Chains A and B, each alone.
Chain A
């Protein structure tokens, strides 16, 4: 029983990272109709930036917090650059070309990481305040993972407010449904595109930064999570914010539970689940595109 509870909690904490990634991916697809194969690479960039910032800021108490704030901001900036320089010309390109382009960007970023930081992995220590375990009676659970759940839930709330309650958000929602109309209404849709892409990439960078204390940073850390992101978004529904949350949590929990039941089958179960969702409910559980 305790085992199941821990696995559930674990799955949720795992899923939260996927949720962040998936929201980023889905708003980019929903708004810009772009399949971003560089999403994993920017996750890695975020992780490495967090590492560098923490080294620069030293052993100071707040350095961890500063790092996880600065890293996503810089990653978002990188995203804006990529969007303006490259993706602008890809507005109506077929998916295969988007994939090739973003895949190329991913290779460039990954090799840049090796050139700048070296190929050996980097570590970032969990700040002392979060480094312990909490005893829940039946089981103990790492504080850092609890922090992840709470912190990311907060971020999701902020994003939700942004999308649902602000005028910027309504532009995003409108643009997701009908790009041209928004353009006709006189809004500079291109600036909005850049902003949305930067936001999506920034979220990936944040996910990367948050995961480094747990797993360390390696140049190819974006690879596996990229495919999982797509799985999550497909399950939840392309373009759906709540779908990304649902999908992310679902995949996280399945991954965690499978580790209990049949570890070698973890990946295949997730893919089988995705295949099932596509076959039965192609728009994803909550999708509309």
Chain B
């Protein structure tokens, strides 16, 4: 009689599974034949949910601006990766196989970017990213992965060097580094700069990602009588670090630099009281004298009231790059689009930008900003002044990329 019970249970189970399948098929959208899917990979849940939301906004702006592409409507396919490589990679694979999506952009963490780049290469789908790890256009480069943002070399060059020139009497430099690959590459690039300009690297502290206590580092930095303290963190770590730096009165004794920041998002979260006088490096600034940026900022403000921030801008331009490449190639076929992308030039958010064919890295400017204090802020978004901007990229001879 056990078996009868088993049978009935199994019957019930079978019916439920099939019913569920029916419901699922009704609920899930299917890609219509006359649309082309452009995907944004964004952390909609988890620590970076705020960034994820902006990624979606930027992508939408680019898609709505274009409307139809080669006769087809563009559909945004949002993938919530929760900032986890396993989730992101699998969902991208799923989107390619089940929905036939061939164009992807986004991701916040380098680990996610690397994982998706691998899938893109395997499945021959286009992927443009803004993550920071050098490997994306170095050791792990591939035919189908492209990067818009400036990697660590440029970020360090365009922030450290102008400050060294501006403050020639600042000889003692202290660094605080998150202990993982990305942090290490920022640090190593900086060390090269210190050596080149004969500066004293008076100390470095490694901290685990997501560390909440930076206090001990500041005591050491203060004790070392550093002129500059450089923070190689990003995101939440930077916010924490700077808040505590302010607590400890570090700003009074040394100048602070954050080479890799998210621009306005970071500045808003830190607040002008704490941010005042700190130097930030940024991939993008909404108030530069570049026609595309001005237009984009206007469009964003029309919808969302506030000036645009970096994550939204990045997803906008990356989506736009995909659209432009498809248009130029006159086809949706990824290999052809990739070929177009790798030699493309366009009017970008930092002026004229172009793609380096040998490693799929975009040649663009990087900005050095000085954050304003409350009294100097004249309106929303007026959070910093641009000190300098420029382009710095490693020559092809030094590249680790072996493009097949």
Q: Is A219 an interface residue (CB 8 A)?
A: yes
Q: Which residues of A contact B210 (CB under 8 A)?
A: 224
Stretch of A61-69, A76-84, A118-126, A198-206 contacting B (4+ beta carbons < 8 Å): A118-126
Q: Is B49 an interface residue (CB 8 A)?
A: yes
> Would B205 and A133 count as touching, CB distance under 8 A?
no
Secondary structure of the A contact surface, majority rule? helix
Stretch of B64-72, B128-136, B150-158, B237-245 contacting A (4+ beta carbons < 8 Å): B237-245
Q: Is A220 an interface residue (CB 8 A)?
A: yes
Question: Chain B nearest CB: distance from A130 CB in Å?
Answer: 10
Q: Is A2 an interface residue (CB 8 A)?
A: yes
Interface size class of B (residues with CB under 8 A): 35 or more
> Would A263 and B47 count as touching, CB distance under 8 A?
no
Question: Chain A nearest CB: distance from B397 CB in Å?
Answer: 34
How far, in angstroms, from A2 to B222 measured CA to CA in the complex?
11
Q: Is A54 an interface residue (CB 8 A)?
A: no
Closest to A133 in B: B249
Instruction: Select B216's contact among A144, A220, A260, beta carbons within 8 Å.
Output: A260
Question: Chain A nearest CB: distance from B52 CB in Å?
Answer: 8
Stretch of B263-271, B277-285, B318-326 contacting A (4+ beta carbons < 8 Å): B263-271
> Would A263 and B206 count as touching, CB distance under 8 A?
yes
> Would B208 and A215 count as touching, CB distance under 8 A?
no
Which residues of B, 38-61, contact A by the 8 Å Cβ criterion?
46-47, 49-50, 52-53
How far, in angstroms, from A241 to B330 measured CA to CA in the complex?
72
Instruction: Select A120's contact among B213, B240, B247, B268, beta carbons within 8 Å.
Output: B268
Interface size on A, residues (CB 8 A): 37
Q: Is A186 an interface residue (CB 8 A)?
A: no
Question: Chain A nearest CB: distance from B177 CB in Å?
Answer: 10
Q: Which residues of A contact B53 (CB under 8 A)?
A: 119
> Would A119 and B216 count as touching, CB distance under 8 A?
no
Q: Is B273 an interface residue (CB 8 A)?
A: yes
Q: Is A26 an interface residue (CB 8 A)?
A: no
Q: Which residues of B contact A125 (CB under 8 A)?
A: 271, 273
> Would B215 and A219 count as touching, CB distance under 8 A?
no
Q: Is A267 an interface residue (CB 8 A)?
A: yes
Question: Chain A nearest CB: distance from B96 CB in Å?
Answer: 28
How far, in angstroms, from A133 to B273 measured CA to CA in the complex?
16
How far, in angstroms, from A2 to B220 measured CA to CA in the complex?
10
Stretch of A6-14, A86-94, A150-158 contacting B (4+ beta carbons < 8 Å): A6-14
How far, in angstroms, from A201 to B251 measured CA to CA in the complex?
36
Question: Chain B nearest CB: distance from A261 CB in Å?
Answer: 9
Q: Is B207 an interface residue (CB 8 A)?
A: yes
Q: Is B301 an interface residue (CB 8 A)?
A: no
Contact with B along A216-234 (1 / 0, CB 8 A): 1011100010000000000
> Would A259 and B270 count as touching, CB distance under 8 A?
no
Q: Which residues of B contact A123 (CB under 8 A)?
A: 243, 269-271, 274
Question: Chain B nearest CB: distance from A102 CB in Å?
Answer: 20
Q: Which residues of A contact B222 (CB under 8 A)?
A: 140
Instruction: Select A219's contact among B49, B206, B217, B220, beta carbons within 8 Å.
Output: B49
> Would B244 and A263 count as touching, CB distance under 8 A?
no
> Would A214 and B179 count as touching, CB distance under 8 A?
no
> Would B219 and A3 count as touching, CB distance under 8 A?
yes
Contact with B along A135-179 (1 / 0, CB 8 A): 000011010110000000000000000000000000000000000
Q: Which residues of A contact B52 (CB under 8 A)?
A: 119
> Would A121 and B219 count as touching, CB distance under 8 A?
no
Q: Is B6 an interface residue (CB 8 A)?
A: no
> Would B216 and A256 count as touching, CB distance under 8 A?
yes
> Would B240 and A215 count as touching, CB distance under 8 A?
yes
> Would B248 and A142 count as touching, CB distance under 8 A?
yes
Question: Chain B nearest CB: distance from A191 CB in Å?
Answer: 37
Q: Which residues of A contact B208 (CB under 8 A)?
A: 263-264, 266-267
Closest to A5 in B: B219
How far, in angstroms, from A215 to B179 measured CA to CA in the complex?
20
Q: Is A114 an interface residue (CB 8 A)?
A: yes
> Would B179 and A263 count as touching, CB distance under 8 A?
yes
Instruction: Select B207's contact among A133, A220, A259, beta carbons within 8 Å.
Output: A259
How far, in angstroms, from A255 to B207 measured CA to CA in the complex?
12
How far, in angstroms, from A144 to B179 measured CA to CA in the complex?
28
Q: Which residues of B contact A7 (CB under 8 A)?
A: 216, 219
> Would B244 and A264 count as touching, CB distance under 8 A?
no
Q: Which residues of A contact B236 (CB under 8 A)?
A: 121, 218
Contact with B along A232-267 (1 / 0, CB 8 A): 000000000000000000000001100110011011
> Would B239 and A120 count as touching, CB distance under 8 A?
no
Instruction: Select B223's contact among A3, A145, A218, beta carbons within 8 Å.
Output: A3
Given the interface pairs A142-B248, A215-B243, A224-B210, the reply to whether A121 lies near B216 with Cβ below 8 Å is no
Q: Which residues of B contact A216 (CB under 8 A)?
A: 239-240, 243, 269
Instruction: Select B47's contact among A140, A144, A220, A260, beta carbons within 8 Å.
Output: A220
Closest to A111 in B: B45
Given the interface pairs A119-B50, A140-B249, the reply to whether A264 lies near B207 with Cβ below 8 Å is yes
> Would B206 and A214 count as touching, CB distance under 8 A?
no
Instruction: Select A119's contact among B49, B240, B249, beta carbons within 8 Å.
Output: B49
Question: Chain B nearest CB: distance from A64 CB in Å?
Answer: 14
> Would B213 and A264 count as touching, CB distance under 8 A?
no
Instruction: Select B243's contact among A3, A140, A214, beta carbons within 8 Å.
Output: A214
Question: Chain B nearest CB: distance from A227 CB in Å?
Answer: 12
Contact with B along A89-127 (1 / 0, CB 8 A): 000000000000000000000000010001111110110
How far, in angstroms, from A218 to B239 measured CA to CA in the complex?
10
How far, in angstroms, from A57 to B172 measured CA to CA in the complex?
44
Q: Which residues of A contact B399 (CB under 8 A)?
A: none
Q: Is B212 an interface residue (CB 8 A)?
A: yes
Q: Is B9 an interface residue (CB 8 A)?
A: no
Q: Which residues of A contact B205 (CB under 8 A)?
A: 259, 263
> Would A10 and B50 count as touching, CB distance under 8 A?
no
Q: Which residues of A contact B206 (CB under 8 A)?
A: 263-264
Closest to B47 in A: A220
Q: Which residues of A contact B49 (CB under 8 A)?
A: 114, 119, 219
Query: Can you list 17 A-B pairs with a CB-CB distance of less than 8 A?
Result: A3-B216, A6-B219, A10-B213, A119-B53, A123-B243, A140-B222, A144-B247, A145-B247, A214-B243, A215-B243, A216-B269, A224-B212, A259-B217, A260-B216, A260-B220, A263-B208, A264-B179
